[in-house]
Amino acid sequence: MRRVFGLEQFRPGQAEIISSILNGHDTVGIMPTGAGKSLCYQIPALLLHGTTLVVSPLISLMKDQTDKLVEMGLAVSSVNSTLTAAEESEHLDRIAADRAEFVLTTPERLVTPEFGEMLQRTDVDFVVVDEAHCVSQWGHDFRPAYLEIKDAIAALRSGRRRRPRILALTATAPEQVLTSICTELGLSTPRIVNTGIYRPNLEYYVYRTVNEEQKREQLIRWLREATGTGIIYTSTVKQVETLYELLNGLVGGVARYHGRMNATLRREQQEQFMSGAVRAMIATNAFGMGIDKPDVRFVIHYNMPGSLEAYYQESGRAGRDGQHARCVLFYQLEDRRTQLYFMGGRYPKGSEIEAVYVSLQQLGAGSHAVAVDELKAANSASASPTRVRVILSLLKDLEIVRAAGGGSVRLLKDTLTLSNLEAVTEAYREKQLTDRDKLEQMMRYGQSAGCRWRQLLEYFGESLEEPCGTCDNCRCPLEARIAQPA
């Protein structure tokens, strides 16, 4: 720690996680943003014999981690879609020759047959899944590769004398999410190290508004009185563009960020924010994870997110330097409708599940392996390629389908009727009910007159003996604050 990283002492939880890994245990580390999660895998990686594989959700996050490791003189290979063919070939050769101490990649690359088979031939003895809550949040929605990580890890462990240990890292994991992480990653009797989520430097505020006009007025007034730089989150791309047009030049310079912008423009906008050239970044939740800007003084949620864990993850990007920062939610009842709309399209429908299963039967998956790409083509009219992969992951969990290697699958149960598939559909109905309950808890937070921190901590299974004394409800009664400036 002192010689390589220049640090004098561990932060809370770091020593426990490192010891757990070195003692051979699968481990889940739950630590708030800015608490030093990276060191928890970097030190064991240098002390263990083989290669450490780090699975990260975002290429920008991966680049930041890679740059820091390279600066310390460590051998790092990063494999992702931004590499040229020559660069990728160079990195793959280095990995194949066991000359990389760290290999960083995305879930999508990890689960490709070619990359997975190459890793099986290398000396991987430690696997890290960073931002592991994405397994639960994104896997069943728009990144099904998260649901396939378990198979990739199982393949890495197969037939090895030294079984690779697994470390899952996240800032938040209420009980349901923790269960999902352990299940979806196939962790074996994991040790859980939870340092708690409480960050006393963050002050939480809620402003209740009745319509869009009032919300915009409140936002402008708040930004004119606030100091420092920050992030403004919205729930849709359209809302990002609308607020960008409204605020740019009115409250100082602002930047914008969402998934429909081209990569060059996103990078330019991010650099403006990171350099402090603009007051605020207006963004969807595509922005922020892994952004190492410690002096964010405020995070504003212009629209209500779908759950308290999403809210805490995003608001927690404020005040990473330990200094005072504010987290503000503009609460409008209408935002509930937007979140319900998102939920309606999040999971596969019963008809999509049935169509994929019938295609497996028709393609003869009961008697021979069928390529997943062939299955996607057969369902192009009834389900998107992403949905097909999500459905296959669920069918694997229910032991109806198994992976057959080389990007193919086999049916284990090829005589099920459509009524038998009701159990599959029911699994997603339960997930939808859980999501709806999370939304209701988010709404109760917005309507609450109690201590904000106490409510957040209780949601995550923690407690606070005394009210925080810094949130809006601790500072003054709710009634005196409705539709008032910060």
Q: What is the per-residue pLDDT across 243-273, written as a single tens digit (0 to 9) for each? A: 999 998 888 899 999 888 887 898 899 889 9
**Same structural domain, 362 and 328:** no
- Structural domain includes residue 207: yes
The pLDDT of residue 477 is: 62
Give the burial string for 93-109 (b: 16+ CB within 10 Å, else e). eebeeeebbbbbbbbbb
Q: Is the pLDDT of residue 309 over 50?
A: yes
Does 253 lie in the same domain as 140?
no
Tell whether 453 is covered by a domain. no
439: in domain? no
Residue reference for tokens 């197969």? 158
pLDDT at position 341 is: 86
Number of folded domains in the chain? 3
157 domain residue, yes or no:
yes
The predicted structure's pLDDT at residue 478: 58
Please give the average per-residue pLDDT across 442-467, as a whole number. 93
Q: What is the pLDDT of residues 102-119, one digit of tens each?
A: 999 999 999 888 898 899
Domain that holds residue 404: 350-431
Mean pLDDT of the chain: 88
**Do 269 and 401 have their domain in common?**
no
Q: Do 356 and 336 fall into the same domain?
A: no
Whether 21 maps to a domain, the answer reads: yes
Q: Tell me, yes or no, whether 182 and 288 share the same domain.
A: no
Same domain (yes/no): 152, 21: yes
pLDDT of residue 485 exceeding 50: no
- 397 or 11: whose pLDDT is higher? 11
Check pLDDT > 60 for residue 288. yes
The predicted structure's pLDDT at residue 296: 95
**Which DSSP string corresponds to 426-477?**
HHHHHHHHHHHHHHHHHHHHHH--S-HHHHHHHHTT---SS--S-SHHHHS-
d(C-alpha 348, C-alpha 321), whole Å: 41
| Residue 190 counted as domain residue | yes
Q: Could you tell me the CATH number of the domain that includes residue 64?
A: 3.40.50.300
- 10 Å CB burial of residue 46 (0-12, 13-18, 19+) is middle
Contact of 414 with 421, CB cutoff 8 Å:
no
Considering 142, 177, 194, which residue would you say is the last residue of a domain?
194
Residue 260: per-residue pLDDT: 87
**Residue 301: predicted pLDDT:** 97
Choose one of 168, 194, 220: the last residue of a domain.
194
Same domain? For 17 and 127 the reply is: yes
| 385 burial level (CB within 10 Å; 0-12, 13-18, 19+) | middle
Residues 180 and 247 in one domain: no
The reply to whether 84 and 213 lie within a common domain is: no
Span 76-90, pLDDT tens digits:
998 888 788 888 899
- Which tops the pLDDT comparison, 42 or 147? 42
Q: What number is the average pLDDT over the span 164-187? A: 89
| Same domain for 185 and 38 | yes
Domain end, chosen from 394, 414, 431, is at 431
Q: Give me the helices (H) in 276-371, please.
A: 308-315, 335-344, 350-362
Q: Is residue 359 part of a domain?
A: yes
Pair (156, 51) in one structural domain = yes
Q: How confident is the model at residue 306 (pLDDT cuts 50, 70, 90)?
A: very high
**Is the pLDDT at 486 greater than 50, yes or no?**
no
**Could you tell me if residue 472 is inside a domain?**
yes
Q: The domain spanning residue 362 has which CATH number?
A: 1.10.10.10
**pLDDT tens per residue across span 324-354:** 999 999 999 889 988 888 887 778 888 888 8
pLDDT score at 351: 85
pLDDT at 66 over 90: no
- pLDDT per residue over 354-413, tens digit each? 889 989 999 999 899 999 999 999 998 888 888 888 888 888 877 889 888 778 899 988
Q: Percent of the chain scored above 90 by pLDDT?
A: 44
For residue 463, pLDDT beyond 60 = yes
Look at residue 24 and tell me whether its pLDDT is greater than 50.
yes
Same domain, 181 and 61: yes
